[in-house]
């Protein structure tokens, strides 16, 4: 429990308005977008510089508080939920874009910059930052780095890791690390940068990020294909890849998702269709035209029910925007939306859909599936009610069995949302006990006292780190 | 109290529905659209945070504390979050309901109660009283603003509110209600018959605007019936958390308007339109559903109505000018009306529409919010004026009296060279006598 003196000290170092310790603030800073997980911190700080991060960390260390970094709290595996209370260190007020370097094609930004803001700032200079998670209009770069976030363009352009050139951060011993740089190549020692990317806030606090930029594609074609059944859509994806075409985007939505999204966006999506694929090819104008034609041919061959080409950039943008709302829109239907992040080799897509259908039937669940089909990354989402215990149990069994199959096919339990607190039990199944032991050793060498984001990624056999914790308010007077 | 709709620490009367707060999946899509979050960067002042607070109260994790009350009133009720939310959560409305909870938990002191009695329960529900109180002196003197001066501490109005309230008032003419004939006949080929809902602020402060609205409707081929007995729509009551009076006003207006045989009930005040469209919800448990649905199906904002019927432009005069359009929250977010006013603007001969960025961002007026949080309101307004200025348009058009007051005051204060007009005033200029 935090002392009043410590709060006063934090206020002195960070300014009163950057330190929250009242119940109402703590209550709304102990969740992210993951259903069913919530835990109150004892204090929340909003540093505005790396120095203030160090100052806050110093007090946390002295007080013996765990420190959980937080961006915008859009994480989908409970990463920023402070399961052990302590301090939440929120980076959203470190939101300056430091530099856009047009000579080296890089941008440097503080960790709290919103993904879309960076995209727009570099676009204004004729450059392109591709990673675009569905949450881009509010997720932070720090959160993207910590989760190694993917996005709609991942298929052709890769994920956040592929763009991180340098990181600056604060480690558990309060030292500042700077790893990587603007040089295109760098093999000096171990790849710290690559360890920090995807570390989910368990190894250190990222304060500044330098990313690679590329020139934007000159032309783009957006194609929308409808299908009478989901498996055919899955097959279409596998075949497009097998035809050696790499679209920038290949996103799928099933009937349930189409209907929820249409309820919100009202742009005339086909409610009666079993699935749709949103496909985008981009690059130089001539190859784009050829690729679009090739995609159309494959779609015709597999028997897509309808094929449409977006008339203009505006229509294409509204289709992509519609896709981004999929998860939130699904939440319309039921009080609770449990989503998973199963990822399979792309040749297995059609079978995965069949398996999802079979299991949804078996466990009598309502499931909506969407995702980055081109990456083999699906988000089967159970639409349920957390108040219904039996249903929650069936949902759990559904995922458990689904992951058996996904792993058997050489897939992964998380394509992009991370392990956090929600998927710890699955991780051990995937990488084995030995794998988990190595990861724990890495964690310990960075953070011997375990102060950063405890209870995430692996279980430490401690009851306070169970996945579903709801706890009352606690702060000492 | 049912198990599936627990009220928890809320008072049972007028509590947010549990399912409505559970609906939020905390995706944060609403955060970048919320003006109070933009101002403070504080989660509890964001839609996601506010819904979470309400949920915590319902789940008995939190009492209905001062801070919850504070958030209920700090929320602009601009409904930008409703537009942004893919899950259909309506954080603004949840906060509106929390305002009435706030009154139940923190009964007003004597002064506050007297204010409520006087303005919300006595003045606003009675058109006659409001008019006599206004004449011959300026509205604010009798409407209790002097009285407010004495009690501004109790009401927690910001220190500069008085100068602002005074500076905001337009030059007042005679209220329109007493001058408008009960029926104004259609001109040209007749297309139908409509009832006009003349809002309090319109008749008292902007009679010139509503006069144009009636002229426009007649010119477009509609007989216009304006029932003089109409009472306040109830929006101020909903906004101040007096749902009881709002309901009784709603029932009165429904009876009155359904007694007229008209195709539509049209208003030129976005705030009234939003409230009228909410009658169905606030009376859900006490009124006949068919009547509610019938009433709801007839309500139209003037731009919505004209766009639906098609604007007849033959014989219109040229209005050579450039305009930019500010979307009232209660039009675009509360009613989802965004393209229609633009469609009308584009069809007025000679008018060039220049879009401003963030056109649907609140102007910071939001009923009495602008008086309670005058510094925050100024910041929100400055953002809006900057965007309007950048277009270089001659006229700043909007479609709601609250916005018009705030924007007109803003351009006057800052010396910005833009005329502020209601869409109907501009359209009125195109209509031949
Ligand atoms: C509707 C919706 C759509 C989404 N779509 C996608 C998608 O397409 N692809 C995808 O990959 N993800 C997606 N996500 C998940 C989520 O948006 C991403 O994981 C995102 O990167 C989280 O960013 P954040 O700023 O919200 O971080 P938070 O949720 O606040 O934190 C996430 C994790 O990062 C850590 N962290 C945050 N900042 C720092 C920092 N500066 N230093 C160290 N650790 C830090 C936290 O401790 C936590 O473990 C989606 C989420 C939603 C709600
Ligand atoms: S209110 Fe809607 S947009 Fe905002 S966090 Fe909740 S679900 Fe998302
Ligand atoms: S109504 Fe407006 S101010 Fe209130 S929470 Fe929604 S966006 Fe924010």
Best probe of the A interface among B86, B94, B339, B376, by most A CBs < 10 A, is B86
pLDDT > 50? residue A466: no
* Vertex B136: Cα angle to B132 and B137 (nearest 5): 105
Which pLDDT belongs to residue B133?
56
* Architecture of the domain made up of B315-430: 3-Layer(aba) Sandwich (3.40)
Which pLDDT belongs to residue B136?
39
Domain boundaries, chain B: 18-105, 111-168, 183-308, 315-430
Average pLDDT over residues A71-97: 96
Average pLDDT over residues B3-24: 87
Which pLDDT belongs to residue B224?
97
Q: Is B29 in the pocket of ligand 2 (CB under 6 A)?
A: yes
Which pLDDT belongs to residue A461?
55
Task: Considering every ligand atom shown, identify the ligand nearest to the alpha carbon of residue B21 and give its number.
Answer: 2
The pLDDT tens digits for A144-155 are 999 999 999 999
DSSP per position, B144-190: IIHHHHHHTTTTT--TTHHHHHHHHPPPP---STTTS-SEE---SS-
Nearest-angstrom CA–CA distance, B99 and B77: 11
Of B16, B20, B23, B24, the residue with max ligand 2 atoms within 8 A of its CB, to mutate for a pocket test, comes to: B24
Q: How many CB atoms lie within 10 A of CB A70?
A: 29
Asked whether this chain's domains B183-308 and B315-430 adopt the same fold, the reply is: yes
Which pLDDT belongs to residue B203?
83
Which pLDDT belongs to residue A465?
44
Ligand 1 atom closest to residue A136's alpha carbon, by position in its atom list = 17
- Strand, helix or coil at B246? helix
The pLDDT tens digits for A5-55 are 999 999 999 999 999 999 999 999 999 999 888 999 999 999 999 999 999
Question: Which chain B residues are closer than 8 Å to A35 by Cβ?
Answer: 25
Which pLDDT belongs to residue A96?
98
Which pLDDT belongs to residue B3?
56
* Architecture of the domain made up of B183-308: 3-Layer(aba) Sandwich (3.40)
Nearest-angstrom CA–CA distance, A347 and A448: 42
Question: Given the DSSP bridges, would you call strands B351-353 and B321-325 parallel, antiparallel or unpaired?
Answer: parallel
Q: What is the mean pLDDT of chain B?
A: 87
Q: What percent of chain A has pLDDT over 70?
A: 96
Domains of chain A (ranges; CATH) run: 4-90 (3.30.43.10), 97-212 (3.30.465.10), 219-408 (3.40.462.10)
Q: What percent of chain A has pLDDT over 90?
A: 86
Q: Please, which pLDDT band fits residue B341 given cuts at 50, 70 and 90? A: very high
CB B104 within 8 A of CB B13: yes
Cis peptide before B136 (omega within 30 of 0): yes
CB A423 within 8 A of CB A33: no
The pLDDT tens digits for B173-216 are 677 888 889 999 999 999 999 999 998 878 877 889 999 999 99
Q: What is the rounded (10 degree) CA torsion for B382, B388, B394, B397? A: -100
Average pLDDT over residues A78-87: 95
Q: How many CB atoms lie within 10 A of CB B416?
A: 15
pTM of the model: 0.88
Which pLDDT belongs to residue B16?
93
Left if phi > 0, otherwise alpha if psi is -120 to 50, otherwise beta: which for A473? beta
CA distance B61 to chain A (A): 7
Q: What is the mean pLDDT of chain A?
A: 92
Q: Please, which pLDDT band fits residue B147 given cuts at 50, 70 and 90? A: very low
Q: What percent of chain B has pLDDT over 70?
A: 85
Q: Please, which pLDDT band fits residue B125 given cuts at 50, 70 and 90? A: confident
CA distance B2 to chain A (A): 14
DSSP per position, B92-153: HHHHHHHHHHHHHHS---HHHHHHIIIIIIIITT-HHHHHHHHSSS-HHIIIIIHHHHHHTT
* A362 Cβ contact list (under 8 Å, min separation 6): A398, A401
pLDDT > 70? residue A71: yes
Q: Please, which pLDDT band fits residue A467 given cuts at 50, 70 and 90? A: very low
Q: Is residue B378 exposed (0-12), middle (13-18) or buried (19+ Cβ within 10 Å)?
A: middle
Average pLDDT over residues B103-126: 73
Q: How many CB atoms lie within 10 A of CB B159?
A: 10
CB B90 within 8 A of CB B274: no
Reported CATH class of domain B18-105:
mainly alpha
The pLDDT tens digits for B305-338 are 999 999 999 999 999 999 999 999 999 999 999 9
Q: Is B27 in the pocket of ligand 2 (CB under 6 A)?
A: yes
Best probe of the A interface among B8, B19, B27, B67, by most A CBs < 10 A, is B27
Structure tokens at A300: 């015709």
Sign of CA dihedral B82, B83, B84, B86: positive
Nearest-angstrom CA–CA distance, B11 and B58: 10
Nearest-angstrom CA–CA distance, A111 and A95: 7
The pLDDT tens digits for A340-398 are 899 999 999 999 999 999 999 999 999 999 999 999 999 999 999 988 999 999 999 99
Quote the ligand 1 centre to B90 CA distance (angstroms): 24
Question: Given the DSSP bridges, would you call strands B183-184 and A367-372 parallel, antiparallel or unpaired?
Answer: unpaired
Query: What value of ipTM does the predicted structure carry?
Result: 0.93
Q: Please, which pLDDT band fits residue B73 given cuts at 50, 70 and 90? A: confident
Phi then psi for residue A235, to 5 deg, are -65, -40
Which pLDDT belongs to residue A268?
92
Tell how far CA B44 is from the center of its chain: 24
Nearest-angstrom CA–CA distance, A91 and B296: 46
Nearest-angstrom CA–CA distance, A402 and A361: 12
Q: Please, which pLDDT band fits residue B131 given cuts at 50, 70 and 90? A: low
Return the top range by mean pLDDT from A184-193, A453-462, B4-13, B194-203: B194-203
Average pLDDT over residues B275-295: 94
């Amino acid at each position: 429990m935090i002392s009043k003196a410590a709060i006063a000290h934090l206020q002195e170092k960070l300014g009163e308005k950057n330190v929250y310790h009242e119940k109402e603030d703590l209550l709304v800073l102990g969740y992210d977008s993951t259903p069913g997980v919530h835990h109150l911190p004892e204090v929340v700080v909003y540093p505005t510089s790396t120095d203030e991060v160090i100052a806050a960390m110093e007090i946390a260390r002295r007080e013996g508080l765990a420190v959980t970094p937080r961006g915008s709290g859009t994480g989908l595996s409970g990463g920023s939920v402070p399961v052990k209370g302590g301090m939440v260190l929120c980076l959203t007020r470190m939101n300056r874009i430091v530099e856009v370097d047009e000579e080296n094609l890089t941008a440097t930004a503080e960790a709290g910059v919103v993904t879309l803001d960076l995209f727009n700032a570099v676009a204004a200079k004729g450059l392109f930052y591709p990673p675009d998670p569905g949450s881009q209009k509010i997720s932070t770069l720090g959160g993207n780095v910590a989760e190694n976030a993917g996005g709609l363009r991942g298929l052709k352009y890769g994920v956040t890791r592929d763009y991180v050139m340098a990181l600056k951060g604060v480690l558990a011993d309060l030292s500042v690390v700077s790893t990587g740089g603007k040089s295109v190549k760098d093999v000096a020692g171990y790849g710290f940068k690559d360890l920090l990317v995807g570390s989910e806030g368990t190894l250190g606090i990222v304060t500044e990020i330098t990313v690679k930029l590329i020139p934007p594609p000159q032309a783009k074609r957006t194609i929308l294909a409808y299908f009478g059944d989901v498996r055919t859509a899955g097959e279409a994806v596998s075949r497009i890849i097998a035809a050696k075409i790499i679209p920038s985007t290949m996103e799928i939505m099933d009937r349930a998702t189409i209907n929820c999204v249409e309820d919100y966006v009202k742009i005339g999506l086909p409610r009666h269709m079993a699935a749709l694929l949103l496909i985008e090819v981009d690059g130089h104008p001539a190859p784009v035209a050829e690729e679009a034609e090739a995609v159309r041919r494959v779609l015709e061959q597999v028997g897509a029910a309808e094929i449409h080409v977006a008339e203009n950039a505006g229509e294409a943008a509204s289709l992509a925007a519609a896709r981004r709302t999929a998860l939130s829109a699904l939440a319309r239907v039921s009080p609770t939306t449990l989503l998973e992040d199963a990822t399979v080799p792309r040749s297995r897509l059609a079978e995965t859909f069949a398996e999802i259908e079979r299991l949804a039937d078996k466990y009598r669940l309502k499931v909506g599936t969407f995702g980055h089909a081109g990456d083999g990354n699906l988000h089967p989402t159970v639409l349920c009610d957390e108040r219904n215990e039996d249903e929650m149990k069936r949902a759990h069994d559904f995922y458990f069995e689904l992951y058996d199959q996904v792993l058997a096919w050489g897939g992964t339990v998380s394509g992009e949302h991370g392990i956090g607190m929600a998927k710890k039990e699955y991780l051990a199944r995937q990488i084995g006990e030995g794998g988990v032991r190595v990861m724990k050793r890495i964690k310990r060498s960075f953070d011997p006292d375990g102060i950063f984001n405890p209870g995430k990624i692996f279980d430490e056999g401690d009851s306070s780190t169970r996945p579903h914790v709801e706890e009352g308010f606690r702060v000492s007077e | 109290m049912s198990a599936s709709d627990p009220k928890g620490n809320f008072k049972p009367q007028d509590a947010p529905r549990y399912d409505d707060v559970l609906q939020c999946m905390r995706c944060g899509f609403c955060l970048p659209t919320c003006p109070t979050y933009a101002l403070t960067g504080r989660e509890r002042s964001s839609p996601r945070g506010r819904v979470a607070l309400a949920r915590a109260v319902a789940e008995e994790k939190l009492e209905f504390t001062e801070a919850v009350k504070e958030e209920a009133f700090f929320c602009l009720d601009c409904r930008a979050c409703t537009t942004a939310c893919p899950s259909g959560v309506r954080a603004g409305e949840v906060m509106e309901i929390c305002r009435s909870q706030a009154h139940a938990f923190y009964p007003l002191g004597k002064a506050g109660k007297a204010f409520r009695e006087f303005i919300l329960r006595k003045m606003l529900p009675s058109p006659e009283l409001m008019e006599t109180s206004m004449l011959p002196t300026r509205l604010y003197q009798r409407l209790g603003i002097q009285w407010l001066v004495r009690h501004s501490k109790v009401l927690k109005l910001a220190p500069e509110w008085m100068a602002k309230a005074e500076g905001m008032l337009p030059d007042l003419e005679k209220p329109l209600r007493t001058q408008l004939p009960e029926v104004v006949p259609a001109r040209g080929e007749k297309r139908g018959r409509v009832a006009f809902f003349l809002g309090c602020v319109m008749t008292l402060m902007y009679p010139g605007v509503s006069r144009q609205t009636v002229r426009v409707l007649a010119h477009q081929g509609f007989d216009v019936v304006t029932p003089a007995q109409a009472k306040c729509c109830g929006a101020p009551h909903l906004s101040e958390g007096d749902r009881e009076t709002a309901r009784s006003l709603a029932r009165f207006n429904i009876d009155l308007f359904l007694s007229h045989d008209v195709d539509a009930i049209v208003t030129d005040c976005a705030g009234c339109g939003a409230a009228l469209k909410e009658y169905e919800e606030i009376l859900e448990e006490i009124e006949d559903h068919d009547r509610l649905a019938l009433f709801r199906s007839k309500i139209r904002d003037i731009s919505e109505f004209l766009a639906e019927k098609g604007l007849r432009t033959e014989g219109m005069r040229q209005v050579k000018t450039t305009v930019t359009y500010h979307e009232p929250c209660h039009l675009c977010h509360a009613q989802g009306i965004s393209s229609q006013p633009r469609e009308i603007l584009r069809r007025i001969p000679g008018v060039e529409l220049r879009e401003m960025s963030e056109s649907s961002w609140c102007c910071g007026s939001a009923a009495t919010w602008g008086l309670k949080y005058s510094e925050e309101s100024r910041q929100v307004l400055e953002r809006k004026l900057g965007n309007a200025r950048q277009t270089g348009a001659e006229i700043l058009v909007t479609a709601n009296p609250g916005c018009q007051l705030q924007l007109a005051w803003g351009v006057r204060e800052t010396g910005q060279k833009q005329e502020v007009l209601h869409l109907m005033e501009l359209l009125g200029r195109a209509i031949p006598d």
